[in-house]
Amino acid sequence: MKRCTKCGVEKDESEFYTCKRDGLLRRCKVCISEANKDWMSRNEKRVAENKQRWAEANKEKVILIKKAYVDRNKEKVEQRRRNWASVNSEKVRASRIRWKKENPEKVKASREKWNKANPEKVVRKVAYQNLKATLGFKPPEELVLLKQQQYLINKELKNAKHQQPSE
C-alpha cells in the first residue's frame, strides 16, 4: 500500500504509475489523470487565446487565409451559406432591408441599371401598377398586355412626331 501525496488516500500500488528512476510515482493514477485534464483544459484556453491574439495582429493574413479557403472549397462554402440562409431567412431578410436603408444611392443605381437593361419589363411594371391603381385589384394579364402595347404605341407616335420634317 502507498499513500498518494495529492489526495492523501492510501491505495494499492497498482493504483500508481511506475517511473524508471524513482519507482512508483508519488501521486496516484486518478490524481495524475485529473492533473492532466486540468493542464489540457488550461492549455486549450491558452492555445485559443494565442490564436485569437494572432488573428487580431494579422487581420490581413486572416482575410487571405479565409479567401484561400473559400477558393479551395467553393461548393462547400456555398452549400453552407445556403443552408445558413434557409435556416435564418428572417435574419437574411432583415439584413437586406437594413442594407437597403443604409445604401439608398446603391439601391437607386442598381435599380436604374436594371431598368436600362430591362426596358420591356419596366413598361410592363408601369402598365401593371397603373392598371392596379385604376381598377383597385390585380389586373388580368390580357389587360396588362394591352396597356403595355398602348404605351409602346404612344412612344412610337411621339417618336414619329419628332421625326416629322417641319413645314
In 12-73, which residue ranges form alpha helices assigned H by DSSP?
Answer: 29-57, 59-72
CA distance 25 to 5: 10
Stretch that binds Zn ion, among 20-28, 48-56, 118-126, 158-166 (CB under 5 A): 20-28
CA–CA separation, 155 and 162 (whole Å) = 11
- Distance in angstroms (rounded) separating the CA atoms of residues 46 and 44: 5
Among 16, 31, 127, 144, binds Zn ion (CB under 5 A): 31
Considering the rule CB under 5 A, would residue 35 count as an interface residue with Zn ion? no
Please identify which residue in 1, 3, 6, 155 interacts with Zn ion, judged by CB under 5 A: 6
Q: How far apart are CA 108 and CA 1, in angstroms?
A: 84
Segment contacting Zn ion (CB under 5 A): 1-9, 12-20, 36-44, 90-98?
Answer: 1-9
Q: Does 144 bind Zn ion (CB under 5 A)?
A: no
CB 34, min distance to Zn ion, A: 8
DSSP state of 1: -
Q: Does 67 contact Zn ion by CB under 5 A?
A: no
Binding part of the chain for Zn ion, among 27-35, 37-45, 129-137, 141-149 by CB under 5 A, reads 27-35
**What is the spatial distance between Cα 108 and Cα 149, in angstroms, rounded to a whole number?**
27
Question: What's the gap between Cα 131 and its chain centre?
Answer: 39
100 is a contact residue toward Zn ion (CB under 5 A): no
Under the rule (CB under 5 A), what is the footprint of Zn ion? 4, 6-7, 28, 31
